[in-house]
Structure 1
Amino acid sequence: MLRYLIIFVTVSVLGGCVDRSISVTLPEALDVGTAQTVFAATTRAREADGSYGYRRADRLQFLETTVSIPPNHRPGTLEFSYSDPTPSRQFVLAGVREFPSEQDLKARLNGAKEVTIFVHGYNATQTETVFRAAQLAHDIGLPGKTLVYSWPSRGSGSGYAYDLDSMLFARDGLQQTISTLKSLGVPRVLIVAHSMGGALTMEMMRQAELREPGWSRRNLEGVLLISPDLDVDVFRSQMAVIKSPPEQFVIMVSRKDKILNVSGRLRGTAKGERLGNISSTEKLAQYPVSIIDTTAFNKDAESSHFVAATSPALLSILNAAGRVSRTFGRDQGGIDLLVPPAVRNDAGATEVVLTETGQVRVSTP
């Protein structure tokens, strides 16, 4: 146990070497890079310098950000600088606009039929989250408009306990974000959540279901949990309340996720297991979810904890699925093509193992 604590402390120290609160805005970066619009809903408090930091706000704020993606960007990479960014080779924040009212957001959504909400995980700043969402939207082609739900993470390796409290604090804001989008006329809302963001998403849905049974399926087109940092038994208890999750409910896992292994062992769980690195899907067999095993792509991924965003090979497969989806119509989403309705077990879990060659093995636990 001591060596896992040492790893955690080392990460905390390294994470504190750079002032990650710095957020430089360079509109001229768009003369070099490709513009990517990322909307944001945040429960972070606005600081005196105009940035959104780790303090918790008493209201939800909607924003529009513009990211410049460098011309030489390679799928799966995310290069940026906290100060003096270089637009020719780094992601750069080119613009930030606050919406005074929800109607201003509606005007900018311009009748969008679909919005994908990206929910970040532990140890993330707002600008980093916007960059990651822009990278995913560019590399995969997330459905519809892209919006990040930026909850008040401490943005520090040593801020895990603070982030756990902030994750619970942020439940209402995430539900409000979804309800606002629906009230503005967006027919389809999807959630893509990473790490602790998966725990936040599940807690939000559980809370909503207790207030209004059936809320999740009525309001969400689909949910994708990527490497969720969530106890398996807690997930089961949440699903017992949710009962009827959104029809497209996908969990991406990797058995070689180093961060989740440390997270699990620090909690004293057997074999360091969390939902995102689960070795057996037996405990999930009764739930109508699709479990996509991405372990085979760990070797070429920059991060074992975010294979879906940092493995060029996997991104190529997801991007190809998205292109097929756009060619043959909207009825099959890019992720849904990996688990076609014809092979999905509607009465329980469907396990999909992706191989390095892009082949898919489907089974039911």
Structure 2
Amino acid sequence: MTNRRMPRVLRRVIFAGLLALAGCAGRPEGVLVPSGKVAPGVSTVDLLVATTRAPSRVPGVLFSGERGSDIELREIVVSIPPGGKRKVGQVQWPTKLPADPEKDFATVSVEPLDAARAGRVWLDRNLPKSRRVLVFVHGFNNRYEDAVYRFAQIVHDSKTDAAPVIFTWPSRASIFDYSYDKESTNYSRDALEELLRAVVAKPEVGEVTVMAHSMGTWLAVETLRQMAIRDGRVPKKIQQVILASPDLDVDVFGQQLRAIGEPRPHFTLFVSRDDRALTLSRRISGNVDRLGQINPAEEPYRSMLEKQGITVLDLTALKSGDRLNHGKFAESPEVVRLIGNRLIDGQTVTDSEVGLGERLGAVALGTAQTVGSAASIVVSTPIAVFDPVTRKNYDDQWRRLGNSVEDTTVTAVGQ
């Protein structure tokens, strides 16, 4: 296909992707060479890292984008610069090595772990009093070190009270290897299932949250579907599933939910209609809507979300430094704090937790589309929440009061 014949929107998305990659070109290779020491004043994050990638011979790279034959585990400690030296949501990559821990993310230690003992030994040392575990699955176009440092940032900035575990699958970290990456997620389903089963089998673990981004959401949901088919349901300890910018065909997601069945974990979605990476995915996937780009307040998605009890946070109006608008969930201070303070804790997300104000609840839940001028409020809010549970409470109140949706919303906005 020549450049002239390529659709304009596709050219723009690919160009933006190349710009994003160009921003990574100046990073030094080998950032995972451990320093062996913790600098004064820095914070540290202790991660359990599981991967299906093939080992790399390059020091400090550890694993490549090719597929390995077995699941490999590492304990990696990452240091985060002191407060005031970085913005919440940022991964500060070193411009040269060794990294300056006063300004950069730095690797403190890397320890290989035996797969048979890793869960027991690492969790014994890192399981908090909450007894929660957070398992993160990264997305498309990620190197091993990308996934490790980004998850360390999420864990640190969210202040999550959970033991952090990351599963990283073989990605070649190129926008031109979309198909390879997609097949790598399929390749990794059994390994992710093995990891999840090892975590939930530990008696001391009380709750597990699975959080996935982009193409990693396909891997996460497919693995849960596989577990449900095998056992009749998803393990009870897996109580929360957070899908950020899900690169999922909406029709396929509906089938996956049916296969997972009931009872199932509570699903929360982060969506953004200006996600340019998902625009590209949609183009090369038959022009079927991607789950991460839906408008939760419009049909047919509104009814489907209400029926399935799925909470959606619409980040469309939220600005970020990501050229593709694909990583807002990790870069926004409000969102990463919400993840740690509410979602992993299993609490219901309502408008009051994301700064919309209690009186705008009906608008934030998507009803403004039916009340004329009030619709502009949805556009101006950074985060719009579609929470079926909260919405039902509002609807019940309105019915008891005998007022119309329009009258009640106008009154609430005008107070």
Q: Where on the TM-score scale, by shorter chain, does this alignment land: which range? A: 0.7 to 0.9
- Counterpart CA distance in 2 for 1:361 and 1:275 is 14
TM-score (norm 2): 0.74
Task: Please state how far the C-alpha of 1:95 moved relative to its aligned partner.
Answer: 1.4
Which residue is equivalent to 1:30?
A: 38
SS of corresponding position for 2:74? strand
- Counterpart CA distance in 2 for 1:22 and 1:73 is 22
Maintained 8 Å contact 2:315/2:382: no
2:90 aligned residue (52, 77, 83): 77
- Counterpart CA distance in 2 for 1:10 and 1:357 is 27
- Decide which structure has the larger Cα Rg and report it: 2
What percentage of residue pairs aligned between the two structures are identical?
28
Going from structure 1 to structure 2, the CA distance change for 1:160 and 1:90 (only over 3 Å counts) comes to same
Which residue is equivalent to 2:347?
A: 336
Task: Please state how far the C-alpha of 1:360 moved relative to its aligned partner.
Answer: 5.6
- Counterpart CA distance in 2 for 1:244 and 1:121 is 27
Give 1:181-330 correspondences, 5 Å limit.
Answer: 181-185=199-203, 186-214=205-233, 216-244=234-262, 246-269=264-287, 273-279=289-295, 280=298, 281-282=301-302, 283-297=304-318, 299-300=319-320, 302=322, 304-318=325-339, 322=341
Structure 1's unaligned 5+ residue stretches are 326-331, 341-350
Maintained 8 Å contact 2:28/2:96: no
TM-score (norm 1): 0.83
Going from structure 1 to structure 2, the CA distance change for 1:117 and 1:337 (only over 3 Å counts) comes to same
Going from structure 1 to structure 2, the CA distance change for 1:82 and 1:245 (only over 3 Å counts) comes to farther
Which residue is equivalent to 2:191?
A: 173
Amino acid at match of 1:129: A
SS of corresponding position for 2:176? coil
RMSD: 2.9
Count of equivalent residues = 341
Going from structure 1 to structure 2, the CA distance change for 1:312 and 1:19 (only over 3 Å counts) comes to closer
Which residue is equivalent to 2:154?
A: 136
Task: Please state how far the C-alpha of 1:13 moved relative to its aligned partner.
Answer: 4.8
- Counterpart CA distance in 2 for 1:261 and 1:142 is 31
Give 1:107-146 correspondences, 5 Å limit.
Answer: 107-110=121-124, 112=127, 113-146=131-164
Amino acid at match of 1:97: E
Which residue is equivalent to 1:329?
A: none
Maintained 8 Å contact 2:313/2:384: no
Task: Please state how far the C-alpha of 1:91 moved relative to its aligned partner.
Answer: 1.1
After superposing the two structures, state which structure 1 stretch, 11-20 or 299-308, moved more.
Answer: 11-20
Going from structure 1 to structure 2, the CA distance change for 1:300 and 1:121 (only over 3 Å counts) comes to closer
Structure 2's unaligned 5+ residue stretches are 1-5, 352-363, 367-377, 396-415
- Counterpart CA distance in 2 for 1:291 and 1:13 is 30
Q: Is the aligned partner of 1:46 residue 2:55?
A: yes
Task: Please state how far the C-alpha of 1:188 moved relative to its aligned partner.
Answer: 1.7
